[in-house]
């Protein structure tokens, strides 16, 4: 469906004044014709005035007001007429109908699609009838940038570990004809495609960097991960969503990861794993530093000829220094006043 943008109907104010004047003229003709009926004349004028009063309200149905960053899609007896996307006061065919199947669908900022209709406020009228005070006013399509924040999803990463992840998607409507006619409800369609794209991309990455994992599809292992490559992952999610919703006339401006964590059932175990990895890395760094310090001490003693040590004494010295440098507690020195043997 190709979008047709209407520009030549921006004469609503002038036409509204004209219809009001014509309606007042019809009212005057009815009154004046009724007066002339007493003299046996004025029947044609009276009939014309009454007919116009009965149908003169129809042109007012063609008056449309479009605000900034809003659009309306018009159909005439089921045929697409065009879309109005510029702000202004318009006069269109009064039999045209404004179409927006997603008018009552609300995308929550922190939840999934909410399709529940608001309960109408109903009060009893004087005649005992019910008066609806919460009637939907118009079916305009917003062209503003909007935010979709779907509920957090539990997805298995490429290693099979369940993770919980949530995203925020900034989107807007760029083609009103496709949004209205190509899909049943473009807001629900966007929400479902966001869920699908998120699952497709998250399954390609591990939560943390893992050896032998190819996240780019080039056959070469890389260091991509959900936690360390969040910008790259978000960009791929945006591209994936855009490829799915382009047919609905939507543009994905940006996609961002708002929440990322291991699933509760494995969070404690993964935390212990991370702690163990951190302890091993720290111990490795301490041992490397201690060995370097021992080597430096032996070299300095040999260069300055401070003391001559045989291999057995060097081994004892290395053992003592490593215990002191690698221990978790402060060393408690023992002063030896005699010989080592």
Please give the domain boundaries of the chain with CATH numbers for all domains. 12-99 (no CATH), 145-262 (3.30.479.30), 271-326 (no CATH)
- At residue 125, the pLDDT reads 35
- At residue 35, the pLDDT reads 75
Phi, psi of 236 (to 5 degrees): -70, -35
- At residue 83, the pLDDT reads 93
In whole angstroms, what is the distance from residue 329 CA to residue 292 CA? Answer: 20
Q: Helix count (H) and strand count (E) of the chain?
A: 7, 14
- At residue 332, the pLDDT reads 67
- At residue 267, the pLDDT reads 67
Phi, psi of 139 (to 5 degrees): -125, 50
- 265-277 pLDDT, tens digit each: 876 776 777 777 7
Q: Please tell me the pTM assigned to this model.
A: 0.69
* C-beta separation of 82 from 8 below 8 A: no
Q: Mean pLDDT for each 10-residue chunk of the chain (341 residues)?
A: 82 84 84 73 78 85 90 93 91 91 72 43 35 47 89 87 91 94 92 92 88 83 86 93 94 92 78 77 82 82 73 77 72 61 53
Single out the residue of 219, 220, 252, 218 nearest to residue 238, CA to CA: 252
């Amino acid at each position: 469906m190709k979008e047709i943008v209407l520009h030549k109907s921006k004469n609503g104010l002038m036409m509204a004044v004209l219809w009001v004047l014509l309606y007042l003229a019809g009212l005057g003709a009815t009154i004046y014709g009724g007066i002339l009926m007493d003299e046996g004349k004025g029947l044609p004028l009276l009939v014309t005035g009454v007919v116009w009063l009965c149908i003169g309200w129809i042109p007012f149905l063609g008056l449309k007001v479009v605000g900034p960053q809003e659009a309306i899609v018009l159909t005439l007896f089921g045929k697409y007429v065009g879309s109005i996307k510029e702000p202004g006061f318009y006069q269109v065919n009064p039999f045209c109908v404004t179409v927006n199947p997603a008018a009552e669908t609300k995308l929550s900022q922190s939840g999934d699609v909410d399709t529940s209709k608001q309960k109408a406020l109903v009060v009893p009228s004087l005649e005992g009838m019910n008066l609806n005070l919460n009637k939907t006013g118009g079916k305009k399509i917003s062209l503003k940038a909007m935010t979709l924040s779907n509920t957090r999803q539990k997805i298995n990463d490429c290693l099979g570990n369940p993770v919980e992840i949530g995203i925020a998607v900034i989107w807007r409507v760029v083609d009103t004809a496709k949004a209205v006619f190509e899909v049943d409800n473009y807001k629900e369609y966007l929400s479902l495609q966001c869920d699908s794209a998120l699952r497709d991309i998250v399954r390609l990455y591990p939560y943390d960097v893992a050896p032998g994992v190819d996240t780019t599809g080039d056959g070469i292992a890389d260091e991509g991960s959900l936690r360390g490559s969040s910008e790259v992952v978000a960009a791929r999610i945006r591209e994936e969503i855009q490829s799915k919703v382009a047919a609905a006339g939507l543009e994905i401006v940006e996609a961002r990861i708002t929440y990322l964590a291991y699933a509760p059932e494995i969070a404690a175990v993964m935390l212990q794993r991370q702690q163990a990895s951190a302890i091993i890395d720290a111990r490795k760094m301490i041992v490397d530093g201690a060995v370097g310090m021992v080597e430096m001490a032996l070299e300095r003693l040999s260069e300055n000829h401070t003391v001559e040590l045989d291999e057995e004494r060097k081994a004892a010295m290395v053992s003592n220094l490593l215990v002191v440098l690698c221990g978790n507690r402060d060393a408690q020195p023992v002063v030896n006043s005699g010989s080592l043997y």
